[in-house]
A and B are shown apart, each in its own frame.
Chain A
Amino acid sequence: MFDDLRDLYQELILDHGRKPRNFRRLEDATNHARGDNPMCGDRMELQLKLSGDVVEDLGFQGRGCAISMASASLMTETVKGKTTAQAHALSDRFRALAMTGTCPECGADLADEMERLQPLAGVHEFPSRVKCATLAWHTLNAALEGGKEASSE
């Protein structure tokens, strides 16, 4: 009945949705932000540990659907160890990927990272679900900018 939905709900996404990585509080966070999707009640609290220009560690907590949990989990894995400039670049590219399914602007740098995020590209076929996938990245931007409220509205 739902076989064609395996594109959206790939095993990797279901797995990260069930067992999100870096789902914890950082004791020594330097930056944090809260992300809210008021439409559906998804909510996350993201913490970063910046060391100079590098995102040394990330942790998040919150609640949401499988897509938003998996996206946050993959985001923390991908961004860990990157510079803030790289984190911003990944965020821009991921949002293009989630909205259109492709990323023509994506250069050769960070190609491996974008490859890891590819399983979420299927969300572009579900306009009402794109926000679920982008919430974590909006929240990341807010945290990098010093911790404002982010909303995927």
Chain B
Amino acid sequence: MSFDVRAIRADFPILASTVRGKPLVFLDSGASAQKPRQVIGAMTHCMESAYANVHRGAYYLSETATEAYEASRRAVQVFLNAARPEEIVFTANSTMAINLVAHCYGRGVLKPGQAVLATEMEHHANIVPWQMLRDATGIELRFVRVTDTGELDMEDLAAKLADGKVGLVAVTHMSNVLGTVTPAERIAQMAHAAGAKVLFDGSQAAVHRRVDVQALDADFYVFTGHKLYGPTGIGVLYAKHALLEAMPPFLGGGDMISGVSLAGSTWAPPPAKFEAGTPAIVEAIGLHAAIDYVTAIGMPAIEAHERALVEHAMRKLSEVEGLSLLGSAQDRGGVFSFSLDNAHAHDLSTLLDRAGIAVRAGRHCAEPLHQRFGLEGGTCRASFGLYTTPEEIDFLAAALVKAREFFA
């Protein structure tokens, strides 16, 4: 299937809407993406004609819903190229998936005296759970430095692995602020050589590129449904089966047990062991539809479209006088954080909003990274999706020029 951005846009009802009388130019997909009809339809269909609780009833509807829920798990397995469906655990989002690892692997498997190695470019979701682990257990927490170009300092990474104490490297696969795509394969090799496991936060990366957890040799990989054109309330933890077996459960309750007596309980095998309670059934079905949607277009085609957008944006934005871009990594995706010399990020986003342009202003859940670059006041961020067009980027650039005049 060839990439036809007009046809794709027609799949997203919201893109035809107007904001304050202007056509919507949605450049905040990095925070959460819009939803195609295919996802909306699959969820509606489930609730209208195929809905019941899963794993619980021996009747037609429950069996149908269970099959659809498990089919979604298999779709995620194929999407990530995991070895088996049992390696896919559904969570509420990336945040919960990382917290699950911090809790079950961090407290259940890592030992005091060991360390977790994160980086300065992480989203708070990949910082705070590790701080909580550190504070509760005495496990050390280290951070890899970020270079001035917004890339990981690989020498610093090597140095911080050198003493062999690191039990887990937790690193983003693509920065939600800098757009930087990290050298995941190399990081996994270095972590493994130092005796550590590796977790990738794929919240951004999985949306823009084909991810193969086996080729990466990832031990853990997480992503979140709502950034992948799917619904909110569903996320994914991939983990190697042996790790899931070794880890104690996360939440306790129904579905995660194999037997319960008042004296004690035994755990169900993975992935059920980590999915206590009624799961996000409709959302899992929506996620399946989203995966089918991007797979039909083709992740390589999406990546090529976005590469062209990135090049276009680099050119257009660098022509805007007074604008500075945060980060200039070689390998990057469609996320651009910037500041204008004479306008604060919040004033700028209010102006752009008047033109129908939705961008995010602030520190994008990455305060340490903004501190690293001396930008405590925040930046504006434009982030692209598969429906973004070069014309929208031109419009943004023109609006930025006007905004600078406005504040002059």
Which residues of A does B touch, CB under 8 Å?
Answer: 1-2, 4-5, 8-9, 14, 39-43, 63-67, 126, 128-129, 132
Contacts and interface: CB of A to CB of B under 8 A. Distances in A.
Contacts of A128: 350
Contacts of A129: 346, 350
Contacts of A8: 350
Pairs of residues from A and B, 3 with the lowest C-beta to C-beta distance, nearest first: A65-B344, A65-B346, A1-B402
Contact of A41 (B351, B355, B362, B402): B362
Interface residues of B, number: 22
Contact of B347 (A39, A41, A63, A65): A65
B347 A40 contact: no
Given A2-B355, A5-B351, A40 B406 contact: no
Given A41-B378, A66-B347, A14 B407 contact: yes
Contacts of A66: 343-344, 347, 407
Given A9-B347, A40-B362, A132-B346, 19 more contacts: A2-B354, A2-B355, A5-B351, A5-B406, A8-B350, A9-B406, A9-B407, A39-B362, A40-B345, A41-B376, A41-B377, A63-B376, A64-B344, A64-B377, A65-B346, A65-B347, A66-B407, A128-B350, A129-B350
Contacts of A39: 362
A41 B347 CA distance: 13
A90 B19 CA distance: 35
Interface string B357-401: 000011100010010000011100000000000000000000100
B346 A40 contact: yes
Nearest to A5: B354
Residue among A43, A64, A65 facing the most chain B CB atoms (10 A cut-off): A65
B403 interface: yes
A9 B343 CA distance: 12
B354 A1 contact: yes
A65 B354 contact: no
10 contacts: A2-B351, A2-B406, A5-B350, A5-B354, A9-B407, A40-B362, A63-B377, A65-B346, A66-B344, A67-B346
Interface of B: 343-347, 350-351, 354-355, 361-363, 367, 370, 376-378, 399, 402-403, 406-407
Contacts of B354: 1-2, 4-5
Interface class of chain B by DSSP = helix
A40 B380 CA distance: 11
Contact of B403 (A2, A42, A63): A2
Nearest to A39: B362
Nearest to A43: B376
Contacts of A126: 350
Given A64-B344, A66-B344, A66-B347, A2 B402 contact: yes
A66 B402 CA distance: 17
Nearest to A1: B402
B236 to A, nearest CB: 28
A60 to B, nearest CB: 16
A66 B377 CA distance: 12
A55 B37 CA distance: 60
A27 B406 CA distance: 37
A46 B150 CA distance: 35
Contacts of B407: 9, 14, 66
Contacts of A9: 347, 406-407
B130 to A, nearest CB: 20
Nearest to A63: B377
Residue among B350, B351, B399, B403 facing the most chain A CB atoms (10 A cut-off): B350
Contacts of B362: 39-41
A42 B351 CA distance: 18
A1 B377 contact: no
Contacts of B361: 40
A40 B350 contact: no
Contacts of B350: 5, 8, 126, 128-129
A43 B362 CA distance: 13
Contacts of A42: 346, 377
B215 to A, nearest CB: 39
Nearest to B346: A65
Contacts of B402: 1-2
Contacts of B344: 64-66
A113 B403 CA distance: 31
A15 to B, nearest CB: 12
A66 to B, nearest CB: 5
B347 to A, nearest CB: 5
Residue among A2, A14, A66, A126 facing the most chain B CB atoms (10 A cut-off): A2
A150 B314 CA distance: 40
Residue among B346, B370, B376, B403 facing the most chain A CB atoms (10 A cut-off): B346
